[in-house]
Structure 1
Amino acid sequence: MKSLLKNAREQKGLKTRELAQLASIDQALISKFESGTRKPTKDQIIKLSQLLEIDYETLMIAWLKEKIFYEIGDEEFALKALLLAEQEIQNNRKEINSAIISSNQIILDEIETLKNKIQSFNHLQLRQIHKTLELDFIYKSIYLNGNSLTQEETKSVINDGSTVLGKSMEEHLEAINFQEATLHIKDLSQKKMAFSEKELLFLHNLIFKGIDKNSGKYKNDSLIIKEMNLFFNWYETQKNNLHPIILASEAHLKIITINPFENGNIQIANLVLNMILLLNNYVYVVAEGNIKSKNEYLFSIEESQNKNDKSIFINYVLKIEKQNLDKAIELTS
């Protein structure tokens, strides 16, 4: 780790004094980190990773490796202990995921059956489904944000470029922008492109283009940067371990909890949730365009947070996914 830090600093053309000022860390400590005589804290690692543009995962693994080695490196049974610790970590993760899957096995099986049925449809049927569900998703998403356009008005604005009398320009822009964002997550999913921080900020910029001067920017808070780094690290480590619907639901909850933007956190959380679903051949999930459904959605988030029980929101997503798969099949009958 010491060479990672020193090499990165030198490549940036920074002196230890300059890095110390940028990171708000004592210069003597920076020197000790680079010589290996002191170990940074986790918060300092996050800060140095950002400032020196070192891959967070690479630096974090190096830091954890040294921390573990410092604690047990000289112990006779260190390797055996590490193997047991690794097994226990993996088992704990599997047990949590398995418990959620087991308690929802019936609806998960129903969802997979419906999903497979849709995938067997011909090109024209699939096009009809996607076109209808996309409009549905755009309308319900902007309704969730308080937009007063009806579904027909939304369709007229995004498909025909119409202007609806009595509706604000911001409401028109929001519909157009959300259509662009929806098409973008569809494109990402079809091309199987990686989800990254760059894409997240781009999505935020899309939905607030011409509406908010802070579009595509996090809040001016160093803690937000740290938490979002941790979010993307979590996503990369879990994207191949968790069931896609569980992954999507948890990603949504994490973004809502972090609350990284001044505006649009619910919209971004829903776009990320649905991007992950589309990537795995599921259909859109969003609350219906009415007060009762909106309140049910918000209540499921609040209850999950208050009770620290992610299964509450996961159950909500599973229910809506099944409903929308049923609706997709009805569109072809």
Structure 2
Amino acid sequence: MKTLLKNAREKKGLKTRELAHLLEIDQALVSKFESGTRKPTKEQILKLANLLEIDYETLMVAWLKEKILYEIGDDNLALKALKVAEDEIKLNKKSSGKLTSKTLQSVLDEINILKSKLDQYRQYDSYRISQALELEYTFESNRIEGNTLTLRETDLVINEGLTISGKSMREHLEAINHQEAIAYIKHLMEKKTVINEREVLSIHNLILRGIHPEDAGRYRKVQVMIKGSTYMPPQPYMVAKDMEDFFIWYETHKNSLHPVVLAAEMHERLVTIHPFIDGNGRTSRLIMNLILLQHGYVIANIKGDYENRMQYYQSLETAQVHSNKEDFLLFIAQIEKESLERYITIIAP
């Protein structure tokens, strides 16, 4: 791992003191990482992977290997212990894989069939169709949060630059900002950019730009409550650590979960941390849809009408208060299934 870190740092043209500054640690610690006399923490591994553009899994495997070797050395029973540990890890993974209910798995199976059908029709995609569906997404996502612009008014604000009489400046900005945030996540998808702290903060910055400029792209420094919910988000001093764990969870699970489950999990985990003063819902839905787009799916557009909004909020609260995510995962899967069905109906020849 030490060679991997040093080579990656030099390739990026960074000096040890510059990397230390970015990591917010002492320069001597970076030198110890590279010499092998000190091991980074799990959180530092994630930061190093992002800063040095090293595949997280590659770096994590190297880190775990050295950790294991340090702990067991060349003990005569080491190989036997490793074999027992391997069997137990496989058993745990097998057990965790059974957590997906039959109902959810059934919907995922239907989604897989629809995704295969969509791939056959990709040649019929058009910019006009995407533009119309993205406009609907902006309208619905903002409607969930209380924005009163109609779909037609949202179109006039975004595409015609008009001001709607009787509507607040905030509502106008929410429409414009959200549309720009969609363009940004599509840009990230095309560049195959990994989801990291910088990108999440950039998405949030777009959402709150001109609305709460002092809070845009920044974690909250005060305690918040969620209106109409019994769930209490973590204290502000816990947010940075919870977000580190959020990105570690993503890196650990991004290649093992069904993309729709991964997207839904990331949405629920981010909105549960509630890292921002405002814009948590919109940012979480954008992160969810970035993951879906990265895997070739379509935007899961949650409707903002009363019935859908209540089902959305209630399933979220069940996940947050009772640690039962089944309803929420199923809700998102159903939304993606319906979005796929509609998209295929539109583009199919």
Task: Give the TM-score band, short-chain normalised.
Answer: 0.7 to 0.9
How is 1:207-226 mapped onto 2 (pairs within 5 angstroms)? 207-213=207-213, 214-220=215-221, 221-226=236-241
- The equivalent of 1:177 in structure 2 is 177
- How far apart, CA to CA, are the structure 2 residues paired with 1:258 and 1:147? 23
CA shift, 1:272, in A, is: 0.7
Q: Are the structure 2 counterparts of residues 191 and 74 from structure 1 closer, same or farther at C-alpha, using a change threshold of 3 Å?
A: closer
- How far apart, CA to CA, are the structure 2 residues paired with 1:227 and 1:303? 20
How is 1:98-113 mapped onto 2 (pairs within 5 angstroms)? 98-100=98-100, 103-113=103-113
> Does the CA contact (< 8 Å) of 1:118 and 1:126 recur in 2?
no
- How far apart, CA to CA, are the structure 2 residues paired with 1:222 and 1:12? 27
Q: Deviations over 1:186-212 (max 9, x none)?
A: 222233332222111110111111111
Normalising by structure 1, report the TM-score: 0.79
Match of residue 292, structure 1, among 273, 285, 307: 307
How is 1:127-276 mapped onto 2 (pairs within 5 angstroms)? 127-213=127-213, 214-220=215-221, 221-276=236-291
- Paired amino acid for 2:188: L
Does residue 12 (structure 1) correspond to residue 17 (structure 2)? The answer is yes
- Paired amino acid for 1:140: E
- Paired amino acid for 2:334: K
- Paired amino acid for 1:295: M
CA shift, 1:308, in A, is: 1.7
- How far apart, CA to CA, are the structure 2 residues paired with 1:329 and 1:69? 52
Normalising by structure 2, report the TM-score: 0.75
- How far apart, CA to CA, are the structure 1 residues paired with 2:242 and 2:55? 12
**Identical aligned pairs, as a percentage?**
43
Unmatched tracts of structure 2, length 5 or more: 10-14, 19-23, 26-32, 222-235
> Does the CA contact (< 8 Å) of 2:45 and 2:60 recur in 1?
no
> Does the CA contact (< 8 Å) of 2:204 and 2:283 recur in 1?
yes
- Paired amino acid for 1:194: V
Say what the alpha-carbon RMSD is for the aligned residues: 4.0
- The equivalent of 1:331 in structure 2 is 346
CA shift, 1:135, in A, is: 1.2
CA shift, 1:155, in A, is: 1.1
- How far apart, CA to CA, are the structure 1 residues paired with 2:194 and 2:330? 26
- The equivalent of 1:303 in structure 2 is 318
- How far apart, CA to CA, are the structure 2 residues paired with 1:182 and 1:299? 26
Q: What SS class does the counterpart of residue 12 from structure 1 fall into? A: helix
> Does the CA contact (< 8 Å) of 2:46 and 2:248 recur in 1?
no
CA shift, 1:60, in A, is: 7.6
- How far apart, CA to CA, are the structure 2 residues paired with 1:185 and 1:303? 28
CA shift, 1:56, in A, is: 12
- How far apart, CA to CA, are the structure 1 residues paired with 2:169 and 2:96? 47
Q: Deviations over 1:83-133 (max 9, x none)?
A: 332343344234423541755333222222222323333645544442222
Q: What SS class does the counterpart of residue 211 from structure 1 fall into? A: coil
- How far apart, CA to CA, are the structure 2 residues paired with 1:92 and 1:268? 33
